Amino acid sequence: MPHRQASRRIGPFALTRTLAWLRLCAIAGQSVAVLVCALWMQLSIPVLPLLTGIAALAVFAVFAAWRLGQPWPVREWETIGHVAVDALVLGYLLYFTGGASNPFVTLLLVPIALAAAALSVPAVLAVAALAGIAYLTLIHSYLPLPMPMHGSGFPLHVLGMGVNFVIMALLLGFFINRLARALRMQQLEVQRVRERALRDEGILAIATQAAGAAHELNTPLATMRMLLPELRREHVSDPGLADDLVLLEEQVERCRGILREMVAFGQTQLSQEAEQMPLQAFVQGCLERFQLLRPEADLTLELPESAARLALRVPPGLRHALINLLNNAADASASRGSAEVELKIRSDAGWLELAICDHGPGFDAGGEPVALGRSGKQGGLGLGLALAEATAERLNGELTSGNTAHGAQVRLRLPLAVIGAG
């Protein structure tokens, strides 16, 4: 979705949309100019042919507005067609009003300038050729512009040049500035996409190493799982050692369970299938897993009844993102001798917000942003926030951080339009 929007900010679509607005301005300005010349200045100009040309341009403007609302992309050749229609109508109007001697003939340069900011070189050359052909034709074929009944025609020509200068300055300044701003926005979007791709590539490399480590660890864990019961039977007479061996067996089983979860998570990521469940069931599963990892943590949950009944399509990675944030909060609280962690969940205005609060030192006032993936804890790998932010971006959500009266708060906001089952 972001890529599609970025592709429409600059290029044929942007130029066609700009031409549509210019076309409306041209219709209004040309109508006023014809009526002023014919009624107020009393010039004997062919009013009916001029108004017919303006009406034809208005019909095309309606078609262009309809076309811009359609989902299929605008191609360069189509944009050139729009420019050709505008040039043809302008040339038609100039034919009845002095041809190349009309000071407004320089308006033929506007499509060239706009095309140069949005189209490829061959397309710009095509637009320039159209404008050039129209100009050369108007040098030889035109109806002379009638002079006013009183006074010389030179002041009228100078006045027309002045008005044309103002129009050109406004058009080129305003619309080219819009196109240039759209180009800058696209460049920023490309830079963000490149940075996101580099970060995701790093996360993928870490995931690959983790998969290899899980495969390698499975063999020594199986060996320990086989030898520990035998050692416990051999040293049954030593209660202290037997208790230690029982603890080691439990830790081995815990490691095997973690490895199985890693494999299951990888398979889920590859399948890209979302689980459907109520929000309460999702949160309960995450908290059970977190309590197994951090049994010492004192977790407080705030989950309104209205939000608990929400049906979710839980995408791959969301569960691990939440557990990572809870684990970071537990580490931050532990650094201050506290075990308190708070999870506050609320749903409003089409968003699901998961706020994780700790009782730690908080974030530095001018510290690293969340995007760098550093929680500030000692001995951490700095991956928890990075993985959580990657998940948030993939789901069109956001991850923000801040400080509270007793520690730090990290908020994971996700659109229900993406994760909601209904």
Sheet of strand 340-348: strand arrangement: 298-302, 340-348, 351-358, 408-415, 398-403
275-419 carries CATH number 3.40.50.620: no
The residues, ordered by sequence, that sit 6+ positions from 16 with a Cβ below 8 Å of its Cβ are 64, 67, 68, 74, 78, 79, 82
pLDDT for 105 beyond 50: yes
The pTM of the whole model exceeds 0.75: no
Q: What share of the chain has pLDDT > 70, as a percent? A: 79
Report the 10 Å Cβ neighbour count for 295: 7
pLDDT for 208 beyond 70: no
Per-position DSSP letters for 210-226, written without gaps between them: HHHHHHHHHHHHHHHHH
pLDDT for 187 beyond 80: no
Q: What is the pLDDT of residue 212?
A: 67
pLDDT for 60 beyond 90: yes
pLDDT band at 183 (very low <50, low <70, confident <90, very high): confident
Read off the pLDDT of residues 139-163 as tens digits, 9 standing for 90 and up.
988 888 776 544 454 566 566 666 7
Q: What is the pLDDT of residue 150?
A: 44
pLDDT for 272 beyond 60: no
Q: What is the pLDDT of residue 267?
A: 57
Interhelix angle 121-140/109-118, rounded to 10 degrees, is: 180
Can you count the helices (H) and strands (E) in the chain? 13, 7
Helix, strand, coil percent values for the chain (each to nearest 5):
65, 10, 20
In one-letter notation, the amino acid at residue 111 is P
Task: Give just the sign of the alpha carbon dihedral 101, 39, 30, 130.
Answer: negative
Mean pLDDT of 295-324: 85
Cβ(104)–Cβ(61) below 8 Å: no
Read off the pLDDT of residues 17-59 as tens digits, 9 standing for 90 and up.
888 888 888 898 888 888 888 888 777 888 899 999 999 999 9
Please tell me the least confidently modeled range out of 45-59, 93-107, 166-180, 322-336: 166-180
Higher pLDDT, 67 or 222: 67
Task: Give just the sign of the alpha carbon dihedral 32, 33, 34, 39.
Answer: positive
Q: What is the pLDDT of residue 89?
A: 92
Higher pLDDT, 184 or 56: 56
* Nearest of 394, 368, 398, 372 to residue 385 by alpha carbon: 372
Read off the pLDDT of residues 117-134 as tens digits, 9 standing for 90 and up.
778 888 889 989 988 998
Interhelix angle 76-95/121-140, rounded to 10 degrees, is: 10
Mean pLDDT of 216-235: 80
Which is it for strands 275-278 and 311-314: parallel, antiparallel or unpaired?
Answer: antiparallel
Torsion of CA 74, 77, 79, 80, to 10 degrees: 180
Cα→Cα distances 285→245, 264, 277, 294, 378, Å: 30, 15, 11, 14, 28
